[in-house]
């Protein structure tokens, strides 16, 4: 089966993380379920590492209310203009703060060779916001965007 890390993350999000605040209650049982569902061991391990690294970031509180972000060459290669613009849009509209923006970019870069589309980016933002305490409003707003409940107009 040709699955990748993102597919494993989506499976975990849809089946475990959306209704639970704590990430993955029994990781051994979940790993077994993922393997039984047809995911490759390597991709399952990478997805768990990705989530574990997100958990290590902890709650980060921004100290600067506004910041200017310059993307490095590796980030530009990974994120096309539409994705970079969308990240800026989310920050300008208060869905992402500067610290969460950096977490999103970090988690994108941690996906290695995974190609990032705007749809994948939306889900990554949602996962990052879910991992952060006191981000319920931002999570809810992002959830509306992901599920198409609110039109997005970039001006």
Residue-wise pLDDT for 97-140, tens only, equals 998 999 999 999 999 888 999 999 999 999 999 888 889 999 99
pLDDT confidence of 150, banded at 50, 70, 90?
low
Q: Which of 139, 116, 115 is nearest to 127 (CA)?
A: 139
Q: Which of 35, 44, 92, 50 is nearest to 68 (CA)?
A: 92
> Which residue is it, tokens 């800026």?
88
0.85 cut: is pTM over it?
no
Question: What is the phi/psi pair of residue 31, to 5°?
Answer: -60, -45
pLDDT confidence of 83, banded at 50, 70, 90?
very high
* pLDDT digit string, tens, across residues 32-67: 888 888 899 989 888 888 888 876 655 555 555 566
Angle at 109 between CA 152 and CA 67, to 5 degrees: 60
- Domain assignments of the chain as residue spans, ordered by start: 1-57, 60-155
As a residue count, the chain comes to: 155
């Amino acid at each position: 089966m040709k699955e990748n890390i993102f597919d494993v993350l989506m499976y975990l999000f849809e089946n475990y993380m959306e209704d639970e605040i704590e990430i993955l209650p029994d990781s051994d049982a979940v790993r077994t379920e993922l393997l039984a569902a047809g995911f490759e061991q390597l991709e399952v391990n990478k997805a768990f590492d990705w989530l574990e690294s997100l958990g290590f970031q902890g709650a980060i509180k921004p100290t600067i209310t506004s910041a200017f972000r310059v993307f490095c060459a590796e980030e530009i290669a990974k994120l096309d203009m539409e994705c970079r613009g969308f990240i800026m849009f989310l920050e300008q509209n208060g869905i992402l703060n500067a610290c969460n923006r950096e977490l999103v970019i970090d988690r994108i870069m941690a996906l290695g060779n995974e190609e990032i589309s705007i749809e994948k980016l939306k889900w990554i933002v949602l996962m990052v916001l879910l991992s952060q305490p006191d981000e319920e409003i931002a999570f809810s707003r992002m959830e509306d965007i992901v599920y198409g409940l609110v039109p997005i107009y970039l001006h």
